[in-house]
Structure 1
Amino acid sequence: MADFSYGKNFRLLSASDFEYLRSENSIVKSKCLRIYFKPSRLDQNETRIGLSVSKKVGPAVIRNRTKRILKEIFRLEGPKDLGLDLMVVVSPFLYRDYKKIEDAEDSLKGSFKKLLKEISGQYDRKVIYSTH
């Protein structure tokens, strides 16, 4: 049976990891998300992700559901072998712009998938240009 867990090796855990991403980073953004990314400081090929969902997004139930959705998309479709660190920041306006929670979640999913593809494309180009 395949292991679909979201282990510690795929998570940013320490404050120093988040500080590393805040300084001199690359960023992609959409209406409801910002993703900061850099090559990982660790000697590993795995992409790690950290999530920042402010209390302004909504009550704990909404914040936790948002994090679960993002983790699941990353687990299934994220760039796992680029050796990047990603910090995902969710806009507090995500759920305010929609009347239905389902519409906001659909927007979140679409934006996150699009930004992950954009990061993969940018990073692939950087790798290609740096090797020639």
Structure 2
Amino acid sequence: MGSLNFPRHLRLVRRPQFQACYAGGRRYQTKHFIIFVRPNGRDYWRLGITASRKIGPAVLRNRIKRLVREAFRLNQHLVPPGLDYVVVSKKRTDLPGLNLDMVQKQLMQLFQQIAPRTEKDLEQDPRA
């Protein structure tokens, strides 16, 4: 396994990047998250995370974003490349009890769903 850093080029940071993923991406759901996945035409994946004010105070929103970012960082070798991911936190009452193991488990289930479809999606998308 290579480096476990999380450089800036692996992040979605601009609003148009997020909007493109919302508009043209495929939507997946887990218990705590909605994930939009869209081919990006690169040989690496990129991640964007959102947590609205409906989730709760800033401390909780930032904790959720840190957990998702850490789950992606630790499991980046399992993340299918060539895709943009936008992870949106759902409003749930049990989010304060969310921990890294729960987030990793949900995301790994998602990657198992996405991986078989990745090749088909990239072949069908002429922009990729």
8 A contact 2:37–2:86 mirrored in 1: yes
Provide the TM-score with structure 2 as the length reference: 0.80
User: Offset at 1:81?
Assistant: 5.7
Report what 1:9 is aligned to. 9
Quick check: 1:76 aligned with 2:74? yes
Whole-Å separation in 2 of the counterparts to 1:83 and 1:126:
10
Q: CA deviation at 1:18?
A: 0.8
Give, as a single letter, the amino acid of the residue that structure 1 aligns with 2:58. Answer: A
Equivalent position SS for 2:13:
coil
Q: Distance in 2 between matches of 1:122 and 1:51?
A: 22
Query: How many residue pairs get matched?
Result: 122
Unaligned stretches of 5+ in structure 2? Answer: none
Matches within 5 A, 1:1-132: 3-41=3-41, 44-78=42-76, 79-80=78-79, 82-93=81-92, 96-97=93-94, 101=97, 104-105=98-99, 106-127=101-122
Contact 2:79 2:111 in 1 (8 A): no
Deviation of 1:122 after TM superposition, in Å, equals 1.8
User: Does structure 2 retain, via aligned residues, the 8 Å contact 1:45–1:81?
Assistant: no
Secondary structure of residue in 1 paired with 2:69: helix
C-alpha distance in 2, partners of 1:51/1:123? 21
- For residues 11-44 of structure 1, the C-alpha deviation after alignment (integer angstroms, 9 at most, x for no partner) is 0011110111111321111221111011115xx3
Answer with 1 or 2: which has the greater Rg.
1
| Counterpart residue type for residue 109 of structure 1 | Q
Paired residues of 2:39 and 2:122 also in contact (CA < 8 A)? no
Q: Secondary structure of 2:49's match?
A: strand
Gapped regions of structure 1 (runs ≥ 5): none
Q: Matched residues in 2 for 1:127 and 1:18: separation?
A: 19
Cα drift, residue 80 of structure 1: 4.8
SS in structure 1 of the partner of residue 54 of structure 2? helix
